[in-house]
Amino acid sequence: MTHPTLAPEEPLLKVEDATIALRVGGRTMVSGVSFAVNRREVFGVVGESGSGKTLLTRTLFGLQDDARLTAGRVTFEGRTLPLEGYGAAVRGLLGHAIGYVPQDPFSSLNPSMRIGKQITEAIYLAKGWPMGAERTREAAIALMAEVGIPEPALAFDQYPDQFSGGMRQRIVFAIALSQEPKLLVADEPTTALDAITQRRVIEMMLDRSRRHGLAVILISHNLELLRQSVGRIAVLYGGQLLNIVPAADVGTHAAHPYTEALFACIPTREKALADIRSIPGEPVGAGFGTSGCAFASRCAYAEPVCLTAPLPLNAGITSGFSACLLGRGAQ
Amino acid sequence: MAGAEPLVALEGVAKSFARRLLVQNRSFALSGIDITINRGEVVGILGESGSGKSTVANIITRLTGYDSGRYLFKGRDVATLTRKESFAFKSDVQIVFQDPYGSLNPRATVQSSVMESLLLHKRELGKAERIARAGQLLEEVGLNAAWGDRYPHEFSGGQRQRVAIARALAVEPELLVCDEPLSSLDVSIQAQILELFVRMIRERNLTIVFISHDVNVVRLLCDRVYVMNQGRIVEQGQARDVLSRPQNEYTARLLEAVY
Amino acid sequence: MLRLLTLPKTNIERAAVILALIVILVAIIGPFVTPYDPMQISFRSKLLAPSSMHWFGTDGSGRDVLSRLLHGAQLTLSATFFVLIAGVVIGCTIGIFSAFVGGAADNALMRLADIWLGFPPLILALGFASALGASLQAAIWALVFSWWPNYARLSRMVTADILSQKFIASADALGVPLHRKVFRYVIPNAFDVLIVQVTLDISAVMLAISGLSFIGVGAQIPQPEWGAMIADGRSYVANGWWIVLAPGVAIFLTALAFNVIGDMLRRELDPTSRRR
Amino acid sequence: MAYVAQRIVFSILSLFVLLFITFLLSHVVAGDPAIVAAGPNAGAAKIALLREQMGLDKPLLTQFAIYCGQILQGDLGTSWFTRQPIASDVLRELPPSLELVFIAMLINLAVSLPLGLLTARYAGSRFDDLVRLGVMAGAGLPVFWIAIILQQIVAGRWQLLPTAGRLGFANREFSGATGFYLFDSLAAGNMNVFLDTLAHLVLPAFALSLLFTAVGVRITRTAMIGEFRKDYVTLARAKGASEPRIMFRHVFANGATPALTVFGMQFGWMLGATVLVEEIFGRPGIGRYAVKAVTQSDIHAVVAVVFVVGVVFLLANLLVDIALYVLSPRKQQRA
């Protein structure tokens, strides 16, 4: 599966110092975010609402109309995308190299188009019709079976409103997988689903990505879900990248103070009531900027320097990273 | 002791929803459920969407009726309550909803929202006393009393949920029904509100029905739990037992799935 | 009213607010400031082109067009507002009632409104006006008669939406009495949507009234109502274009101004358009 | 199929409400029909006799039943003015009006659907602002006034199009089986008349369509904007679908459905609005007939027009709803 022209250590996606501003008004919402995703890696992005996680990923992949990448460097498969006309350039990768799964399965399928048509359209858009209508149909049905849709041949001719949320999200995955992308971006794919369905869909996704050699960026507000599902997690807060932490280090002092505090908020299986500690105050919205740490006002460890010093950037795109101005959580 | 009889007893309560054209009903039918809630208990009702758990909340608070069965409150069948007693019932039982954005009147200041409870159920208080009492309540739930003249849209989700709790507590209810009170809040705010509930349980003489889909929250907060699936109670018992050694197949599946 | 001056964001909106205020002012004081008697016939001065004596010229019977226009503002606007206010009062009473009772009565009332709403309002008004005898009063009542279902439907929808919200359930859990629910919960929360719709409807009602007058079932011809003025000027259009132009432009600019203001109010007040 | 049945039942119900309104108009609001029918100089005895003949001494509900029976047999009454059966008048006047409304509707659809789609796609742009201003202006234009202005300038001064009438002088002898000249001329293979008919339709149809087009653009834009915000558009983009493909393959069909219902209602409203333009352009038609009836205080003729326009309106809506239902297989499966 390795690409012959690439050195094996070259990451699939490299984002350096990405800065994102709104088109109207020009306010900078996300600043100085750097990270890299390796081939076949499952990479998590966590943040509370307003942290900028969805804005960051949707803009990076050309799906946000009202914001744009104003600075930074994005490299995919060794090719750097131009900052000028970035949206068009990255959309050129969608539909074959990069797949995307939106959050709400109840609105992410076209209600007036048959399921099968929506999958074969994806195959057609990715590859043209090299195999003809009949074989495309068979491929689509095979994929539907693979993501766990019962009686796929029957479902092929049905409309989305006949499927539950979990089944719809599987269909969306089938659409993404049908284009054989190298990177799959899933934005809160299970937030609208019940616990049992959520676990099944996430496991199906992880299993497919393993089998297809697919890299995944999984965006979620649920740190515990990510801790159990992915290798590394990028933690966003107030539009800043505060931490890139191996899942195993979540909940320890090896993580950034925000990551540590966020994990302390979550009731997990193992915790007792006394283990739950809230973070005082309200979350800061995206657009905090880069002078000072966005979390400083709520951080238990904060010192005066945290409020004013420029935030460290992940300049070397290291595999782990902590933006803590006091050096906490740094490996 | 007078507390020998349960505060709430649902006996074989069933409810079905007429399927009407174009009407989406998110709460599902109930088939013959039994629930008892004793004074001072925190009882969890655990289930996924469509399990009927919100219908239970609405029946206990009498926001909706039921087709068959009996609902005894302090031993009285609520069907026999007079108009006046029904009104008094509302100061005994209060509810906090999931969505803090929809549960406050957008056109009323938070102070007047809290004062409305007092106006209706504490008729003996004068206006100055109501204002003072509302301020105390806002402080008690962790808000600044000086913010009383602000409107709901000026507050965050967590703060609105605190206002909703203050409004419910203002009538000094014996029973507080909480319908997914944490679900639409941010993670760090969920923990804050959870701590607020823990404090209130300790400080006030409250009985709580806590309706949730979150296994872990129920395990931490509740004494007893009823697990619901498709309008039935599939398992019940001490929260710690049920949620660590489930007997029912569905409960087991649910526990396994939870992250 | 003062808030109206702070809302405009563009020059077009500012112009619309100023224009609308001028029109309303003219409708109130117009009859007192007109240079000539709007009904005074003078065959010696008929069909005079616009000049310093007669800014907008004179019509086929020698009446001053400007004076007629200023008088007409009162006639046209007061008729329009009467239709809207009567429509809102009747419609909202029915709509709010319907939403509160629900069930079969609600269904029947809304079905009736649906059917009613369907019939072309102009034709319905035409039928009524001709049955009552042609006059401005008849046209006004005919329009009220065909307009109320708009507000019945809208207010029912808005009320039902409000009633389904959790703050109403919360009020029920507290035992808030019905009158308090209507006046403290429903009406304040429905107000914005209604005011937006009423503003947007001003132009439609005005056009309907002047249209009915134009075809002869509203204000009768010597009356200075704007639509009737156009009907009157039609026969002179070849050698007195100003007679038709002036009232037409007056209708158009007034309607446009209220449309722009309605659009602005919707942007500022309507929560459904704000959520983007 | 249950849906179609439901729609038909609803239409029949509407028909009765319509009948009730026209009954109210002709029997109650307009005063005693017997006095009207007897004429101005009739004595009390003659009126009493007429009352009995017309069944006016019976209870109101019976009268209503008799009235419904008459109407449903196609008897719209007799014109008080011409002493002719109104039904045949109406049948003669309806085709030219329907032809006019049909062309006006085509103009409306041809402008509203593309503009609505494009302004929704580029919502908030300068283009969108400009169209919105145009829409507000269009919704403020008095139809009868713009008709006069257009007639004076385009037909009068520039001589680009005929001023009035349905056909030019050279074709005055033409008549067809259906009364729809566009259709009749094509059937007869007479291109000359076809083009002449069309030329006479352009100005009135344009004037008639303006207000409705303004509303049409707004309705379409609102419907389409809602669709563009849905996640399936995001997913289509993520699939690598081009913008035209997203607009036409995905969004258009979903957004057009609710808009088409409104266009169906507009058809009836337009037919009502012909009262404002037909007179000006000297075209025969139901609108002009109604205006004439009003000026002659011919109440039964006016009420007949109300009824006929109402029926056309009901039929147009029913047809649109059934067409949408048949075209959308999704609903079929749900029902």
Predicted confidence (pLDDT) at residue D26 exceeds the cutoff of 80 = no
Determine contact: A119 vs chain D, CB below 8 A: no
Q: Is residue C246 part of a domain?
A: yes
What part of D 214-233 touches A (C-beta under 8 Å)?
230-232
Contact between A102 and D253 using a beta-carbon 8 Å cutoff: no
pLDDT at A261: 95
- Provide the percentage of residues in chain A whose pLDDT is more than 90: 76
* DSSP class of B103: S
Return the residue of C nearest to B92 by Cα: C174
Determine contact: A102 vs chain D, CB below 8 A: yes
Predicted confidence (pLDDT) at residue C145 exceeds the cutoff of 50 = yes
B19: left (phi over 0), alpha (psi -120 to 50) or beta: beta
State chain A's mean pLDDT as an integer. Answer: 91
Contact between C189 and B102 using a beta-carbon 8 Å cutoff: no
The structural domains of chain B, ordered by start, are: 8-74+175-257 (3.40.50.300)
Q: Among A194, A198, A262, select the one facing B188 at the smallest CB separation.
A: A262
Q: Which residues pair with A67 in a beta bridge?
A: A22
Closest Cα in chain A, distance from residue B146 (Å)? 17
Q: How far apart are CA B201 and CA B29, in angstroms?
A: 31
The structural domains of chain D, ordered by start, are: 13-73 (no CATH), 87-332 (1.10.3720.10)
Both tokens assigned to D23: 């009954």
Backbone dihedral angles phi then psi of residue C138, each to the nearest 5 degrees: -60, -45
State chain B's mean pLDDT as an integer. Answer: 91
Q: Among A63, A96, A158, select the one facing D237 at the smallest CB separation.
A: A63
Count of the separate structural domains present in chain C: 1
pLDDT at C234: 86
Q: How far apart are CA D18 and CA D312, in angstroms?
A: 12
Residue C107 or B173, more confident: B173
Q: How far apart are CA D309 and CA B68, in angstroms?
A: 52
pLDDT at C64: 84
Predicted confidence (pLDDT) at residue B20 exceeds the cutoff of 70 = no
Predicted confidence (pLDDT) at residue D178 exceeds the cutoff of 70 = yes
Predicted confidence (pLDDT) at residue C217 exceeds the cutoff of 90 = no
Mean pLDDT, residues C182-188? 94
Q: Is residue C98 part of a domain?
A: yes
Read off the pLDDT of residues C8-48 as tens digits, 9 standing for 90 and up: 888 889 999 999 999 999 888 877 877 777 777 777 777 77
A112 three-state secondary structure? coil
Predicted confidence (pLDDT) at residue B22 exceeds the cutoff of 70 = no
Return the residue of B nearest to C176 by Cα: B120
pLDDT at B1: 42
Contact between C216 and D295 using a beta-carbon 8 Å cutoff: yes
Identify the CATH number of the domain in which residue C250 sits. Answer: 1.10.3720.10
Of the candidates B60, B34, B56, the residue with the CA atom closest to the CA atom of residue B45: B56
Identify the CATH number of the domain in which residue A302 sits. Answer: 3.40.50.300
Q: Is residue C17 part of a domain?
A: yes
Mean pLDDT, residues A290-298? 91
Read off the pLDDT of residues A110-138 as tens digits, 9 standing for 90 and up: 998 999 999 999 999 998 877 888 999 99
Q: Among D132, D294, D309, select the one facing C215 at the smallest CB separation.
A: D294
Q: Which residues of C are less than 8 Å from B104 in CB distance?
A: 167, 170
Q: Is residue A106 part of a domain?
A: no
Give the domain extent around A215. Answer: 13-97+181-322
Mean pLDDT, residues A16-33? 92
- Provide the percentage of residues in chain C whose pLDDT is more than 70: 96
Predicted confidence (pLDDT) at residue B56 exceeds the cutoff of 80 = yes
Residue of C167, C192, C269, C275 to mutate when probing chain B, most B C-beta within 10 A: C167
B228 three-state secondary structure? strand
Predicted confidence (pLDDT) at residue C274 exceeds the cutoff of 50 = no
Residue C45 or A204, more confident: A204
pLDDT at B194: 95
Contact B90, B127 (CB under 8 A): no
CB half-sphere exposure, C50, CA atoms < 13 A? 9
Q: Is residue A90 part of a domain?
A: yes
Q: Where are the alpha helices (DSSP H) in chain C?
A: 2-6, 11-33, 65-101, 103-118, 121-132, 136-163, 166-174, 178-180, 187-214, 226-233, 241-269, 271-274
Q: Is residue C95 part of a domain?
A: yes
Q: Is residue A86 part of a domain?
A: yes
Q: How far apart are CA A228 and CA A225, in angstroms?
A: 5
Closest Cα in chain C, distance from residue B120 (Å)? 7
Contact between C214 and D310 using a beta-carbon 8 Å cutoff: no
Read off the pLDDT of residues D218-231 as tens digits, 9 standing for 90 and up: 999 999 999 999 99
Mean pLDDT, residues B57-83? 94
Contact between A222 and B259 using a beta-carbon 8 Å cutoff: yes
Closest Cα in chain B, distance from residue A276 (Å)? 7
H or E element at residue D232: helix D231-238
Q: Is residue C53 part of a domain?
A: no
Mean pLDDT, residues C114-140? 80
Q: How far apart are CA A58 and CA A185, in angstroms?
A: 9
pLDDT at B28: 64
Q: Among D140, D142, D269, select the one facing C120 at the smallest CB separation.
A: D269
Q: Which residues of B are less than 8 Å from C181 in CB distance?
A: none
Read off the pLDDT of residues D277-331 as tens digits, 9 standing for 90 and up: 998 999 999 999 988 888 887 878 888 888 888 888 889 888 988 888 887 766 4
Determine contact: B119 vs chain A, CB below 8 A: no
| Residue whose entry in the numeric block shows the structure tokens 């309200």 | A282
Name subunits touching D (3+ CB pairs < 8 A).
A, C
Closest Cα in chain A, distance from residue D129 (Å)? 15
Contact between D330 and A121 using a beta-carbon 8 Å cutoff: no
Determine contact: C19 vs chain D, CB below 8 A: no
Band (D40; pLDDT cuts 50, 70, 90): low
Predicted confidence (pLDDT) at residue C85 exceeds the cutoff of 90 = yes
Count of the separate structural domains present in chain A: 1
CB half-sphere exposure, C97, CA atoms < 13 A? 11
Both tokens assigned to A182: 């190298």
Q: Is residue C52 part of a domain?
A: no
Q: Is residue C254 part of a domain?
A: yes
Closest Cα in chain D, distance from residue C171 (Å)? 32
Determine contact: A204 vs chain D, CB below 8 A: no
Read off the pLDDT of residues A243-292 as tens digits, 9 standing for 90 and up: 999 999 998 888 999 999 999 999 998 899 999 999 999 999 888 888 89
| Of A3-7, C198-202, D163-167, D178-182, minimum mean pLDDT range | A3-7
Q: Is residue A152 part of a domain?
A: no
Q: Is residue A66 part of a domain?
A: yes
Predicted confidence (pLDDT) at residue A1 exceeds the cutoff of 50 = no
Closest Cα in chain B, distance from residue C191 (Å)? 11
Read off the pLDDT of residues D231-282 as tens digits, 9 standing for 90 and up: 999 999 999 999 999 999 999 989 988 889 889 889 988 998 999 999 899 9
pLDDT at C33: 78
Give the domain extent around C164. Answer: 10-30+83-269
Q: Among B187, B215, B220, select the one facing A273 at the smallest CB separation.
A: B220
Q: Is residue C50 part of a domain?
A: no
pLDDT at C2: 62
Q: Which residues of B are less than 8 Å from C164 in CB distance?
A: none
Contact between A271 and B48 using a beta-carbon 8 Å cutoff: no
Characterize the bridge pairing of strands B30-37 and B93-96.
unpaired
Residue of C174, C189, C195 to mutate when probing chain B, most B C-beta within 10 A: C174
State chain C's mean pLDDT as an integer. Answer: 86
Secondary structure of chain B: what % helix, strand, coil (to 5)? Answer: 40, 20, 35
Name subunits touching C (3+ CB pairs < 8 A).
B, D
Contact between C176 and B116 using a beta-carbon 8 Å cutoff: yes
Q: What is the predicted ipTM?
A: 0.86
Closest Cα in chain B, distance from residue A257 (Å)? 13
Q: Which residues of A are less than 8 Å from D225 in CB distance?
A: none
Return the residue of A nearest to B186 by Cα: A48
